[in-house]
Structure 1
Amino acid sequence: MQTSPDPTPAGPLAGLKVLELGQLIAGPFAAKTLADFGADVIKVEAPDGGDPLRRWRLLKDGTSVWWQVQSRNKRSVALDLKDPEAQALVRELALEADVLIENFRPGALEGFGLAPEALMAASPKLIVLRVSGYGQTGPYRDKPGFGVVAEAMGGLRHLSGEPGRVPVRVGVSIGDTLAALHGVIGVLMALHERGKSGRGQVVDVALYEAVFNCMESLLPEYSAFGAVRGPAGSALPGIAPTNAYVCRDGQVLVAGNGDSIFRRLMKTIAREDLAADAELADNTGRVARVAELDAAIGAWTATRTVDEVLAALDAAAVPGGRIYTAADIAHDPHYAARDMLLPVTLDDGSTLTVPGIVPKLSRTPGSHRRNAPALGADTEAVLAPLRARRKAEG
């Protein structure tokens, strides 16, 4: 039985103090995820413009609408990490933090006088999440690495697109996001271990490794058979039938690769002969005749609308779906029912719809507690206690 959430949930990470020194995507996404579930995230930004994400993609009143997603629930402190006084203040903030998150090139944090070893010596409980292109060790550690490069090195880019054509990117910064999620997992594991040992540790996440970790059987297939998987367009190599098919007014994805599902799909498209074919009873046989199966399914979808195809698939309990645009998402009743279309009121009184909180926790769910901050909006509130303590200590 699902427990009803508290009316005003603080979140399971309430009381956790996080110091974010990163910018753009990977580090800030990890911090955003922790903030969504109650962590108090202090984001340190350069006074001269702040995080460049503030000005990425489409702007509303001079600020990226993406910023309202990536930095919700955070506080902003404007400090120049190149300034020794700012470095001293950050060291004091680190003494009070449970987690520090950074995604600079390896060595940059040390260059700011903020080496994790020194910070952890002063505060043994501190957990430091370091996200970089290639990790903190190895021959490539000093190379600059963005998510797109990591997607290529991790094996994903080679698989994307159509056979014989230049590989394409997936359309979002998936390498950065995967690294951020791996970073969150690492932080939560380190927090769990700290509960037993009382000690923090460094969580080292490389962008390319986060991508590579999601590449399924890519490496063992090469190890066992010398097989180098290549791009396959919209199909799922080695699993059939699963593909995108053209309808009269669009395209649909059909996943008929389970044995019983396949038989139901073939009956739905009036191909009982294929449903009864013993050679197609399992995936191995279907993969060998995948072109024939795709042609049969495509011939059926081509004469129908997307809605007609999906209605028939639903009736037969065959997985299928339309290819959603942003407009489809914004008007979808299931997204709405799952609280994934979250309306927030901006400081100017306008309403902006942003993605809801993931994952869903039954008793201590995440929440949108405050909008993304203006640059340096919380500098005085955060630093005043430090300065007062310094003054009291003489």
Structure 2
Amino acid sequence: MAPLDGIRVIELGQLIAGPYCGQLLSDFGAEVVKVEPPEVGDAMRQWGRPDRSGDPVWWDVIARGKKSVTLDLRRPEGQAVLRDLVAESDVLVENFRPGTMERWGLGYDALAAINPRLIMARVSGYGQDGPYAGRAGFASVCEAAGGLRHISGYPDRAPIRIGLSLGDTMAGVNAAMGVLLALQDRHRTGRGQVVDSAIYEAVLGLTESLVAEYDAGGHVRERNGSSLPGIAPSNAYPARDGKDVVIGANQDSVFRRLCEAMDRPELADDPRYATHRARGENQAELDDLIADWTRTVDAAEIVERMAAGGVPVGLAYTAEDMLADQHFAARRSIVHVEDPKRGRTLAMQNVFPRLSRSPGAVRGLGPALGEHTDTILAETLGYDAARREALRADGVT
């Protein structure tokens, strides 16, 4: 059995943060009932780059293993169906702007009156309270508020973003962790609670000692390109064949092994580089020295030398590199999921972390819009055929 077998999750909202929480819970066995607006569905069905026939594939990843139910939550009839679902569920995940659920009569107090054991994970840009709670909060602006953007990029240009919605994903991770903690608390108390996951706080939580450094010493961490100030050598270096090789050798013993792999053992005893602090003070000079060497060697040879010498090393991988790598294959870090729609398999990241006794699994690609509506209404809620047909005819489902 997967760890969350027997747990039913209702997933509301769209795009990334809330649905990523649902993806994680589904990966580990929860029955995730994805509630989407009739006809249009979740916007994620249209997001991301397409396959060779023009159909986007992101939906198949973020909605993997879920069941799709269509329901118009803006109408009283749809809200009544959701209340019936809440009575039969353990968790509700939503990422609407704060106050939306309350306007629909679906706030936590109202739902907990139906099911006191309900855990409600609420994902938003700035949290459920505070002066900014009502603001729209996509990952881009919340990454800025949480401090990530200011330190991302190079000092001579504007802040950059990485090529992922990191804030959304981390808010989803925090929401999923909060659900697991709340389930543990429910084992003791028998009662549910609210999990409040804000995107800007999810990013803030990643910023290590950034706030403490300013508070204690007045230090403002700035953009430093592809390295961290005072941490050397730890950077991306150009190889002779045009590839980038990332080397991390900032610990004293590891730096000595790097020097030996470069056939420059004397550098380990050079006063400019012999200690962690000295290397940090001479970081630019040391990076130039290492880059001068890497430019004379192909990337594969650099990796082989460093790995054999016990130096952390890796190429800046693309998806193509990952699919060709023997280690990824041996650990099944990427899984190939049957894809009837395309008549082949679809590759995607596997389920992490790995559990030795009750592992998670990818249980199928994202469902068709409304694929499970009739089943959920009939088997889970016990609606008869006449009621189901009335909801369809009225546009509620």
The TM-score normalised by the length of structure 2 is 0.93
For residue 306 of structure 1, what is the amino acid of its counterpart? A
Does 2:23 correspond to 1:32?
yes
Task: List per-residue Cα deviations over 1:270-313 (Å, max 9, x = no partner).
Answer: 33332113453331121011122112111110111101111111
Partner of 1:3: none
User: Could you tell me which amino acid in structure 2 is paired with residue 309 of structure 1?
Assistant: I
Asked if 1:388 corresponds to 2:383, the answer is yes
Question: 1:106 touches 1:142 (CA, 8 Å); kept in 2?
Answer: yes
Q: Distance in 1 between matches of 2:344 and 2:272?
A: 60
Pick the aligned partner of 2:173 from 172, 181, 192: 181
Q: Between 133-142 and 311-320, report the one with greater CA deviation.
A: 311-320
**Residues 337-371 of structure 1, C-alpha deviations (whole Å, 9 max, x = no match):** 11122111222322211211111111111112233
Q: Does 1:149 align with 2:141?
A: yes
Helix, strand or coil at the partner of 2:383:
helix
* Contact residue 167 and residue 199 of structure 2 kept, 8 A: yes
Quick check: 1:43–1:75 contact (8 Å CA) kept in 2?
yes
Secondary structure in structure 2 of the residue aligned to 1:182: helix
Match for residue 66 of structure 1 among 44, 58, 70: 58
Q: Using the alignment, how far apart are the partners of 2:275 and 2:192 within structure 1?
A: 50
Whole-angstrom distance in 2 between the partners of 1:373 and 1:194: 31
Greater Cα shift, 270-279 or 23-32: 270-279
**Is 1:294 paired with 2:287?**
yes
Between the aligned partners of 2:265 and 2:28, the Cα distance in structure 1 is: 51
Q: Percent identity?
A: 50
Question: Take 1:268 and 1:350, find their aligned partners in 2: how far apart are those partners?
Answer: 44
Q: Which amino acid aligns with 2:326?
A: P
Q: 1:125 aligns with which of 117, 120, 125?
A: 117
Partner letter of residue 349 of structure 2?
A: P
Query: Which residue does the alignment assign to 2:391?
Result: none
**Counterparts of 1:277 and 1:59, CA distance in 2:** 53
TM norm structure 1: 0.94
Superposed, 1:176-215 pairs within 5 Å as 176-215=168-207
Tell me whether 289-298 or 196-205 shows the greater mean CA deviation: 289-298
Equivalent position amino acid for 1:42 in 2:
V
Superposition deviation, residue 70 in structure 1: 0.6
Instruction: Find out whether 1:100 has 2:92 as its counterpart.
Output: yes
Shift in alpha-carbon separation, 1:180–1:161, aligned structure 2, 3 A = same
Give, in whole Å, the separation in 2 of the partners of 1:369 and 1:290. Answer: 48
- Structure 1 residue ranges without an equivalent (≥5): 1-9
Structure 1: how far apart are the matches of 2:152 and 2:290? 23
Q: Where does residue 47 of structure 2 map in the other structure? A: 56
1:179-205 per-position Cα deviation (integer Å, ceiling 9, x unaligned): 010111111001001100001000001
Contact 1:95 1:123 in 2 (8 A): yes
- Which one is further off, 201-210 or 231-240? 231-240
User: 1:321 is paired with a residue of what secondary structure?
Assistant: strand
Can you list the C-alpha shifts for 1:75-99, whole angstroms capped at 9, x where unaligned?
0000111111110000110111110
1:1-394 alignment, distance < 5 Å: 10-60=1-51, 63-249=55-241, 250-278=243-271, 280-348=273-341, 349-385=343-379, 386-388=381-383
Residues 383-392 or 165-174, more deviating: 383-392
**Per-residue deviation, 1:140:** 0.3
SS of 1:137's partner is coil
Structure 2 residue matching 1:150: 3-state secondary structure: helix
Paired residue type of 1:34: L
Q: Post-superposition shift, 1:64?
A: 2.1
Quote the Cα distance in structure 1 between the aligned partners of 2:98 and 2:364: 32
What CA distance in whole angstroms lies between the structure 2 residues aligned with 1:56 and 1:292?
44
In the comparison of the two structures, how many residue pairs are matched? 383
- What secondary structure does 2:206 align onto? coil
- Secondary structure of the residue aligned to 1:245 is strand
Aligned-partner Cα distance in 2 for 1:268–1:334: 23
Deviation at 1:315, TM superposition (A): 1.8
When the two chains are superposed, the root-mean-square deviation of aligned CA atoms in Å is: 1.6
Secondary structure at the residue paired with 1:309?
A: helix
Q: Distance in 2 between matches of 1:62 and 1:325?
A: 22
State the secondary structure of the residue aligned to 1:233.
coil
Counterpart-to-counterpart distance in 1, 2:55 and 2:175: 27
Q: Tell whether the 8 Å contact from 2:86 to 2:114 is kept in structure 1 after alignment.
A: no
* Contact in 2 for aligned 1:44/1:77 (Cα 8 Å): yes
- Tell which deviates more after alignment, 348-357 or 77-86: 348-357
Per-residue deviation, 1:390: 11
Contact in 1 for aligned 2:230/2:279 (Cα 8 Å): no
Aligned partners of 1:280 and 1:220: how far apart in 2? 28
Q: State the Cα distance separating 1:242 from its structure 2 match.
A: 0.5
